[in-house]
Amino acid sequence: MKTQSIKKNYILNTAYQVLTLITPLITAPYISRILGPERVGIYSYTASVVAFFTMFAVLGTTTYGQRAIAQCRDDREKRSRTFWEIEAISIISTIICIVAWIALILVSTDYKLYFIILSVELLAAGFDIIWYYSGLERFDAIVARNVAIKFSSVLLLFVLVKNENDLWKYIAILSVSKFAGNISMWFPLRKTVDRVDLQALKIGPHFKQTLVYFIPTAAASIYSYLDKVMLEMFTDTTAENGFYEQANKIIKLCYTVTISLNTVMSARMSYLFSAERFDEIREKLENALAFMVTLSIPMVFGIAGIANNFVPWFFGDGYDKVIILLVIESSLVLILSMHNFLSAQYLIPSGQRVRSTTGVIVGAVTNFVFNLILIPKFQSVGAIVATLIGESSICICYFYMSKEYVPISMFLRYLPKQIVSAAAMLVIVLLIGQGHSGSILITIIQIAVGAAVYGVALLLLREKLVISMLKQMLGKLKRLH
């Protein structure tokens, strides 16, 4: 098949990932005011429970499926057979999880209505085949099919959710839109996948591999869901979950911009490893690392700088605690970006998924232990700190495992100029926000001026990546004239 442009795929995949996250962000100012912290907290908790079941429904097919398709993308017959074998596993595991989910609904006393509605989201997991298009590097197909659905869901939220009693409508709209998005991906499938004899499918070898990929994914996912479950257990109000949920929305949007490159590059790196093009692998890894560090660090400083002015106008009254959560959690943008980079661009493509499991388990155990210690006393702040410690431990393990291709010295080499530039940006951003609270205009000015200061500072420090990008832009402008 035709090799897709990495730059184009990065833009498309970033657009898709941002679209996925921006839907709740567009509605967040409205929903946070209509539902309030406690109702938002109920959604956060119930959504984390269904996410736990969804994780078991998809097993490791999302990550393994992308890698498997990338490795046979030029062979239509093998690609078709591989798709159906992996999808069969997903459907079977989803059915099993739905049975378990029904049992949970029958015995639950709290939030039963919400759990029933969330069944649609669990069902959607069986039809999620984005991994197939990612393996082919066909991110245009992913974006095109989901734009209309996402914007339709936003419109419905504003029309139908009118007061705090409409939480069930909010959950229903989000769940149905996810199901519709997954189903829409099946329509163009016949262009690249052929029908096969179902009786001839061999799912055994793929099942073993999905389990290999599932274990670290499960460990990583469980503790992210566990934060919300433990907040529900150890706090007297669902509002703490609401604060945690809103802070997470902002952080997720920011690091999604950086890890989108990992999603694009993962399929390409799997292909390069299978072709044994090791020099090209080293070059792409260093370029990707430089890009991600340069993009992540200003986000860390920027989020901390605008939080005090941003939260009041964005979320409304009653969400002041989100300010401190954002300041603390901002460093997670860099930590998660590095963690995801090492996993998606090196460990997984090079076939070291089993080895990487050790790091994830260390992080999961660390996070759980610190949750037990910190959440009862510090509530949502404790959950954030525990997550930072857990993710940092994973990052350290991953750097050790990747030292042959991505030594820690390579990472440290890109820090000084970026940190100095981001620190200068932070000073300006804080000065602009001084004396202001809850102003949309001030936030916009902070972001615009901050970005300009960061860019100019990097140019003055002769940062190679920024200079290279500037030369490319100037070259294109000259060609236009």
Q: What is the pLDDT of residue 479?
A: 65
Q: Are 315 and 29 in contact (CB under 8 A)?
A: yes
Say if CB 88 and CB 20 are below 8 A apart: no
Instruction: Check whether 373 has a pLDDT greater than 70.
Output: yes
Most confident range, picked from 202-206, 375-379, 402-406, 464-468: 375-379
Residue 428 counted as domain residue: no
169 vs 479, higher pLDDT = 169
Q: Identify the three-state secondary structure at position 284.
A: helix
Q: Which among 55-59, 234-238, 295-299 has the top mean pLDDT?
A: 295-299
Given a cut of 80, whether residue 385 has pLDDT beyond it is yes
Note whether residue 91 is domain-resident.
yes
Query: For 299-356, what is each residue's pLDDT tens digit?
Result: 999 999 999 999 999 998 889 999 999 999 999 999 999 988 888 888 888 877 777 8
Domain limits at 304? 6-413
Closest C-alpha to 292, from 5, 8, 4, 14: 14
Q: pLDDT band at 169, cuts 50/70/90?
A: very high
Residue 355 lies in a domain: yes
User: Using one digit for the tens of pLDDT, what is the confidence trace for 97-127?
Assistant: 999 999 999 988 789 999 999 999 999 999 9
Return the higher-pLDDT residue of 7 and 196: 196
Q: What is the pLDDT of residue 431?
A: 95
Pick the range with the lowest mean pLDDT from 213-217, 232-236, 237-241.
Answer: 213-217
Within-domain flag for 470: no
Q: Which two tokens stand for residue 255?
A: 């690091």
Alpha-carbon dihedral angle through residues 347, 291, 15, 127, given to the nearest 10 degrees: 0
Q: CB–CB of 121/54 below 8 Å?
A: yes
Q: Mind listing the pLDDT tens digit for each residue in 7-49?
A: 666 666 666 666 666 777 788 889 999 999 899 899 989 998 9
Taking the CA atoms of 340, 277, 357 and 128 in sequence, report the sign of the dihedral they define.
positive
Asked whether residue 444 is assigned to any structural domain, the reply reads no
DSSP element (H, E) containing 480: helix 464-480
The amino acid that residue 325 corresponds to is L
Give, rounded to a whole angstrom, the gap between the first and last alpha carbons of the chain.
34
As a whole number, the mean pLDDT across the chain is 85
In a domain, 289, yes or no: yes
Report the pLDDT value the prediction gives residue 369, as an integer from 0 to 100.
94
Q: How far apart are CA 305 and CA 326, in angstroms?
A: 10
Spatial separation of the C-alpha atoms in residues 264 and 129, rounded to whole Å? 16
Q: What residues contact residue 82 under an 8 Å CB cut-off, 6+ apart?
A: 68, 69, 72, 206
Q: In this structure, is residue 448 part of a structural domain?
A: no
| Percent of the chain topping pLDDT 70 | 90
pLDDT beyond 80 at 261 = no
Please state, in angstroms and rounded to a whole number, the distance separating the CA atoms of residues 443 and 461.
27
Per-residue pLDDT at 104: 92
User: What confidence category does residue 478 fall into, taking pLDDT thresholds of 50, 70 and 90?
Assistant: low
**pLDDT value at residue 475:** 67
Burial status of residue 203 (CB atoms within 10 A of its CB: 0-12, 13-18, 19 or more): middle
Q: pLDDT at residue 149 above 90?
A: no
Q: In this structure, which amino acid lies at residue 117? A: I
Instruction: Calculate the alpha carbon distances from 329 to 137, 336, 373, 384 in Å.
Output: 32, 11, 18, 6
Place of tokens 């504003």: 158
Q: What is the DSSP letter of 436?
A: -
Q: Is 460 domain-assigned?
A: no
Q: pLDDT band at residue 209, thresholds of 50, 70 and 90?
A: confident
What SS3 class is residue 185? Answer: coil
d(CA 163, CA 278) in angstroms, rounded, equals 57
Number of domains in the chain: 1
Say if residue 481's pLDDT is above 60. Answer: no
8-state DSSP, 343: I
Summarised one tens digit per residue, pLDDT across range 122-131 is 999 999 888 8
- Highest mean pLDDT among 73-82, 156-165, 210-219 belongs to 156-165
Global pTM reads 0.78
In one-letter notation, the amino acid at residue 241 is N
Closest CA to 37 of 379, 329, 371: 379
Amino acid sitting at position 353: R
